[in-house]
Every structure is written in structure tokens, then in C-alpha cells.
Chains A and B, each alone.
Chain A
Amino acid sequence: MTALAPAPVAVPDPEAHRQVAVVSRKAPIAFAVVTALFALLLLVAPREGDATFRFATVGDLFTIPDATVPGMGTAWVTVALMAVATVVAFVLASRRRRVPVWLSLLFAFVFLVGFLAWAAAGSASDIPAVRLIGGSVLLSVPIVFGALGGVIGERAGVVNIAIEGQLLAGAFSAAFVGSATGSPWVGLFAAVLSGVLVALVLGVFAITYKVNQVIVGVVLNVLVIGVTSFLYSQVLVPNAEKFNDTERFSRIAIPVLSKIPVIGPALFNQTIVIYLMYLTVPAVWFALMRTRWGLRVRAVGEHPSAADTVGIKVERTRYRALMIAGAIAGVGGGFYTVVSVSSFGKQMTAGAGFIALAAVIFGKWDPIRAALAALLFGFASNLEGALSIVGAPVPSQFMLMLPYVVTILAVAGLVGRSRGPAAAGEPYIKE
């Protein structure tokens, strides 16, 4: 269970400095708890042997040698470092100053190194840093796109539980159209269209007919699961080679960047969809926070009647935001069948849309933070694979549980109160 605790540390508390008198002690307390639990784990379950971290891949600009460290020794060193960070955090809190973000990130990183050293101690296989990072990025792609779609929708005042449905619809259409035409580009475009289509249905019911948005979302998910599974069994399975065998995007290595050790092969030797993700995250942030369109979207989500008073068309703005959000989520769905694997499977998104929803809240409705939260979830899922390679004594189910536990902790306010757009979930009824 120790493994469940680290993540609340990673996110700082931006609300804290607004409340002048009260300084949050959540961060130092969380630091202390994590440090104590990790030390307890080391005492209860000590492991013998060395741990090896591998950094190099073929073709790097320069080679970083593998690092072999004594597992328990490294783990205890990290405990000491974590204790120091905890003391610093307490001192800062007693002086009524915020715990800076970099300290939280450093704490999380040190903890991770210590945990991996403990887990891999005495294992024959080494911990491949490149795979750890690259795999996390790949696993988080649909979550990032889904979360971006969720952020835009919620900022416009429409809670989108149907992200899962948009991802699934995107995956299905990309597989079907991509296979039928033989072009992954057309498949990706179809995924975008189907994401928009699900968003349109959501909009018709939630905006025009003012049905509770959560209900529409839940029911739309069931509908999309039903339609895609039905068509999968009826159309895709009987004609698998014609309709369910896509040509995937191939990897493109970016000339110099891909040669950087560790992060080069992990981040810059990927397919076009991943590069698209690198561009989409800042683009969405810029559009929401720095453009007139974004201001209007946020106005409609925070205070629709005020927005209406100054002449913004509330429903039209919400529809447009929802369409754009659907398009972005659709790209994430397409990732499954034109990048990740080359065929569609029933319910292949497996709850990624719900994790994306959690990332939206965890990231406090901010595109960049939401994307980082999605990366964290991707990392947590990927860590499970890495730990099973080195034979860590943590049941895989608990590692898989981690993102969800973290989300509950986040939502319950251990990392600062998360407050969404004021009018999210409320249909706008003009008076």
C-alpha cells in the first residue's frame, strides 16, 4: 500500500497563496506520510542485491553508462533526502510560505528512484529508463487528448462524461475507415468526425434539450459501446482483413532531437499523432487562455447569464466548444487503431475516457496541468509493466489501482481544493 501514497505530493496548491492568513500544511504532511511509509516498507520488506538502471540506446549522441547501485543502500539514501525535503517543507510552512512546485517534483522524483531501486534490487533484468518514459507517453496519448477535450467542454459549461464514448467511437471509425481506404490519414479523419458526432449528440440533448449532462454522458457511453460492439461483431469480424486491418502510421525520427540520450528515443522517435499531441496541448492552452474565443468559452462556462448580457451567444458558443472538444477526443480514439495496434476490439478503450475525466479534475481544468495529470496516469500504468519485468513484490493489481486512488485523493482535496467552472453541468435557460 505504500506505493499508493506518493502522488498527492506532486501537485502544488495554487489556491493557498490567495488565502493570506491560512497556509496549507497539506504538502509537508503528505511528504512526511510518504517518507514514513516508504521507510516502513524498507524495514518490513528488505531486499538484497543491486539494481541496474539502463539509460543508453543504440545511436545516441553520447552514451550514458548503465548505473548499478546497491538496492537497499540507494533506497535509504532517498529516504534521507525525502526526510530533508519534508523538513524544508515544514520550515517553509511555519514561515507561512508556499512549498514550491519544484520541491514537490523533486520529492516525487527522489521517491520514484528509491522505490525503483528497492523494487529492482537483486533482479536479473535492469530498469530501462527509455522504455519507462516512452511507454508512459504512449499509454497517456488517448488520455491526454481525452482530457483536453474534457477541459474545453467543462470550461464551456458542459460536463462531458462521454469522453469514453468519443474515444471508443474514434477508435472504431479509424479502424473501419482506415482499413477500408487503406490510409491511416483518412482513418484519423474519420475518428475526428465520429468524435464530433458524439459531441453533437451530447450537445443536442444537453444544450438544446437541457437534459442532465451527466445522464446524457453515461447513456451515450452505453450507446457507443452498444453500437461499436454490434458493428464489430456484425461487420468487422466477418470481413476482418477488409475492414479491420489498418495500416498504421510509421515512426518518424526527428533528426537531432531523437539522438539525445534517454529522452530522444523516448519522445522524438514517435508517430505523427504523438507530435500532434505535443502541439495540441500548448495550442489548447493558448486558445483557451489567450484568445478572444477562449475568453468567451470560459465566460460561458463560469457565468452564462453575464456572458449573454454582453452579447455572447451562450448555446452557440457551447456547441462550438463541444465540437472542437469532440474532434480532439476523436484523435485520441484514433490513436488506438492507427498507431497503437492495427485492429479494433470490443471496448478496447477500457476506461481511458474515465481516467481522462479524472485528469481533467486532477489538472484543475487547466489544459497543461490536465495533460501532465494524464501523463502521470500513463506513467503509473506503465510502471506496472516495468515492475513486473523486474519481478517487484508489489501485486500488479495494486499498481493498476494507483491512478484511481490518486484521483480520489486529489478530488477529496488532499492536494488542494479543486474547483471547476461555476456553470459546468448547468444548462443555460434564458430568461
Chain B
Amino acid sequence: MSASQSAPAGDAAERTVAPTSPDSGGADGGPDHRWREAIARVTSGGWAVAVGAVILAVVAGSIMIAVTDPEVQKAAGYFFSRPGDLLSAVGDAVGGAYSALFRGAIYNYNADTFEKAIRPLTQSLTYATPLILAGLGIAIGFRSGMFNIGGQGQMLMSAAAAGWVGFSFDLPAGLHLFVAVAAGVVAGALWAGIAGVLKATTGAHEVIVTIMLNYIAFYLLSYLLATPGLLQAPGSANPKTPPMAGSAVLPRIFGPQYPLHLGFLLALVAVVLVWWLLNRSSLGFRFRMIGENQYAGRVAGVNVSRTIVGSMLVGGALVGAAGATQVLGLITNGFGSDIDAGVGFDAITVALLGSSQPVGVFFASLLFGAFKAGGSAMQAAEGIPIEIVLVVQSLIVLFIAAPPLVRAIFRLPQPDKHSSGRKKPRESKAAAAMAAPTTPTADGAAR
């Protein structure tokens, strides 16, 4: 698959270099240049690139499914005698996979009642819940120029704290839930805060520190889970906690037959709050300021060190909320050290795909939640390993990050050919967000 990917890339490299100078005159000459311009604007915009990226990723996923399918391989053996067999085998494999994905993610049209048929959708929303919260946390880091890879560690620590409060405290129903979630939020914030403080005081690169904190959190949690008297369930030798107390469990929104829990509403509230924080509050303004240009921020009177720590604390708190919903909503009968379920890393891709905008993160999380729910259904029904979802997801993000490549593959016009001197080509918002976190590296904080 990678081989097929690198071939058009090389082709694209030549094509982006070629159209630099005088051919742009053609666009102005014709009588219908307005139409052309409008079409060009639509086809070169961020949406076209996003759609193109999804198409490319799905095609690549289909190729992988088809090539590794045994029926397809069998039919390929006698391709020249009956080519139709190969095509139908490919169609069966790919169609079966994607229809199973749809049935598992959105609407199971094979179910006998509407209540059962709609259950996959609530499953997708349930999987999307921690992604929204953690994705928002990572996005806040991106907007303030901090690349927080430590979602996993922050989730593990917050799960440990929320879980500990959840099973060992004895409090009235509403209060218990509140305290447990708050414990998770605080733990996530503090764990991310370590990276923020180290970055602000010593200039330690947050990418390295957060990666290392992931491992430390993992082993710390493993230790807590394996030690009687700490997090381990009494009377058990497994590295697993006891189940959460009923008073600390997030209630199901649509009743017990649907998995969707109150955490989803929490995530919705968080989307609004983060939008307000980033776009309407002075704290959020300072975050974005140091994200855009640390030096300008300093000149304008922003305390850069304090803002760095602040953004890590807020981001970590949101990731911590994700960890809390994981143990208090999804897996309430005791958890092990794999409680993060890859959300910490998926949150990075979600934040990238959502171009670090709260609403974008929300929809990207819905997409990834649907992939996750549908992927497990696909694995169960068609025997296609769920990892294909990882491939499609990562390809989507890769392609969205490189709009010129997508445009080159789909022969879309490259934007702003003739005004190249005045301003940088306006790429999709995702690409702009991805370019942002490069600035404040070691040299920025070193002085």
C-alpha cells in the first residue's frame, strides 16, 4: 500500500514545482472567468481537500481489504479465464466490509426493531465522548503552541484518581459522582502540568516530556493495580480494580439498553466552554497569542511561562475528564492499565482533523467514534481486523495535512497562483493549525 502511495507523491512533487509563473494568465482571459474562479475557489478550498483526503484513505483501505481477502486471491489466480469473478470477489470483500462498518456504526438495518437498529449510533456517540473531551484538551495545547502527546498518561492518571474515588469513597449519589469526576480532572491537569512547568522553567521539550510521562504513568498505574491495598481489587490477584460504586457511575441517558451515558452531555458542555474560552475570554486570547508568536506575546505583556503552564493545566484537565468518563461511564466494573484504550493518541489525530477548533474536534470525534464502533462490528461480522480503521484514520490525517498532494492527485487547482507574492496560499484550516505548533521549541523557552 505504501508503495502505491509514494508513486503519486513523487508525481505530485513535480507538479507542484511546475506551475509557478506565467501560466496563470489563462484564468483571467476567458469570458467565463468568473465561473472558473468560483469553481476554482470551491475545488481548491479546505472542504474539497477534506473530502478528497477521506476518499483517498477509504480507497487505500479498500485496496488493503481486497488484496488480503482469500476469496479475492483465489479469483485472482484465474483472472484471465474469468475476470468477472475477481471483480465480484473484490466487490463482496469491500462492500461487505463497509456495510458492516455502517451497520456497526450508525444504523443496523438488519435488526428487527427500530430500538435495536439505532443502538449502534448510541454506541458510536459513547465512543466519541472521551475523544471529544481529550481532543479538546489536545486542541487547546495546539492553539497555544504546545504539542501534548501525553494524552495517554494523563488519561491513565485521571482514571486512577477517578476510579479510586469511585470505588473507595462512600458519598451521597450526586456528590460522589461530582467528586470522582473532579478527582480525575485534577489528576489529568497535574500530570500535564508537570510537562508545562518543565517547559516553562527549563525549556524541556514538551513532546519528549509528555511521551516519557506516558510510560511513567503506565508503570505507575501498573504498580498501583498490582499492589494489594492500593488500586487492586481485594481478594484478587489480577491487576484490576474493584467495580465502581453505583453512586459514582455516570447515568445512562436513554435507559439501560443504550450505552450512551451522561458523559456525552458533559462533552457537549465542554465543547461550548472551550469555544468560549478560546474565542471570547482573555485567558484563551493569551493561549492563542503565545501559540501564534511567543515573542509578540511577551512584548505585549503576556507572562509566557505562566501561560504555558496554564494551557497545559487546562488541556490536561479536559483529557482528565475523558479519563474520568472512561472509568465512570464506559467500563464501570473495574479497569486495568489499558483503560485509556488508545484515546490519548486518537485525541491527537482528532484534534488535527478538527483543525484545533472546538466544533471541528466535535465532528472529528463523532467520525472516529463511528469508526471505532463500526470497526469492532466489522471485525465480528466480516473477520476484518479492526486495525484497518487505524490505517484509514491516519491516512485521512496525513492527506489533510498536505493539501497540495490531495489537489495534485485529484487534479484540483492549486489556490492563489497569481497572488503568490502577496500572501501565503491559504491552505485548509487543518494545515494551518498543523503549522502552528512548530514555533515554540527549545530555543523559544531557553532564554
Q: Enumerate chain A interface residues (CB-CB to B < 8 A).
A: 161, 197-198, 200-201, 204-205, 208-212, 214-216, 218-220, 222-223, 225-227, 229-235, 351, 354, 357-358, 361, 395, 397-398, 400-401, 404-405, 407-408, 411-413, 417, 419-420, 422, 424-426
Contact = CB atoms under 8 A, between A and B. Distances in A.
A229 B390 contact: yes
Contacts, number: 165
Given A226-B391, A234-B68, A412 B446 contact: no
Given A230-B385, A408-B204, A216 B401 contact: yes
When A and B form their complex, which 4 residue pairs have the shortest distance between CB atoms, in order from nearest?
A226-B390, A233-B385, A397-B223, A226-B391
Given A205-B398, A395-B227, A212 B437 contact: yes
Interface stretch (B1-9, B105-113, B241-249, B288-296): B1-9
Give the residue among A205, A216, A227 with the most B Cβ atoms within 10 A. Answer: A227
A208 B165 CA distance: 50
Contacts of A357: 208, 211
Contact of A354 (B2, B211, B390, B435): B211
11 contacts: A201-B5, A204-B6, A208-B16, A219-B397, A222-B394, A226-B390, A227-B387, A231-B68, A235-B68, A397-B223, A404-B213
B412 to A, nearest CB: 15
A211 B10 CA distance: 16
Contacts of A235: 68
B212 A408 contact: yes
B443 interface: yes
Contacts of A205: 398, 401-402, 405
A407 B149 CA distance: 16
A216 B395 CA distance: 10
A212 to B, nearest CB: 5
A212 B202 contact: no
Interface string B327-355: 00000000000000000010011001000
A412 B13 contact: no
B54 interface: no
B434 A408 contact: no
A398 to B, nearest CB: 7
A413 B202 CA distance: 7
A411 B435 CA distance: 24
Interface residues of B, number: 61
Contacts of A417: 203, 446
B309 to A, nearest CB: 14
Given A204-B13, A219-B401, A398-B223, A226 B387 contact: yes
B176 interface: no
B391 A405 contact: no
B93 to A, nearest CB: 11
Contacts of A407: 208, 212
B2 A197 contact: yes
Given A201-B2, A227-B391, A422 B438 contact: no
Given A204-B13, A211-B434, A223-B398, 12 more contacts: A219-B352, A219-B398, A226-B387, A227-B64, A230-B388, A234-B384, A354-B215, A358-B211, A395-B223, A401-B220, A407-B212, A411-B212
A401 B216 contact: yes
Contacts of B208: 357-358, 361, 407-408, 411
Secondary structure class of chain A's binding surface, majority of residues: helix
Given A223-B394, A231-B68, A412-B204, A209 B404 contact: yes
A230 B209 contact: no
B201 to A, nearest CB: 8
A308 B13 CA distance: 20
A71 B434 CA distance: 56
Contacts of B305: none
Contacts of B64: 227, 230-231
A223 B56 CA distance: 14
B441 interface: yes
B226 A212 contact: no
Contact of B435 (A212, A218, A220, A405): A212
B402 to A, nearest CB: 4
Contact of A361 (B205, B352, B387, B389): B205
A417 B202 CA distance: 9
A358 B212 contact: yes
A301 B153 CA distance: 32
B207 interface: yes
A404 B215 contact: yes
Given A212-B437, A419-B446, A408 B213 contact: yes
B209 A411 contact: yes
Contacts of A210: 435
Contacts of A219: 349, 352, 394, 397-398, 401
Contacts of B345: 218, 222
A226 B389 contact: yes
Given A230-B391, A233-B387, A218 B443 contact: no
A301 B205 CA distance: 18
Contact of B2 (A208, A227, A408): A227
B216 A223 contact: no
Interface in B151-207: 198, 202-205, 207
Interface string B208-230: 11011101100110110011000
Contacts of B362: none
B431 interface: yes
A383 to B, nearest CB: 14
B215 A214 contact: no
A38 B81 CA distance: 77
Given A223-B390, A413-B204, A209 B219 contact: no
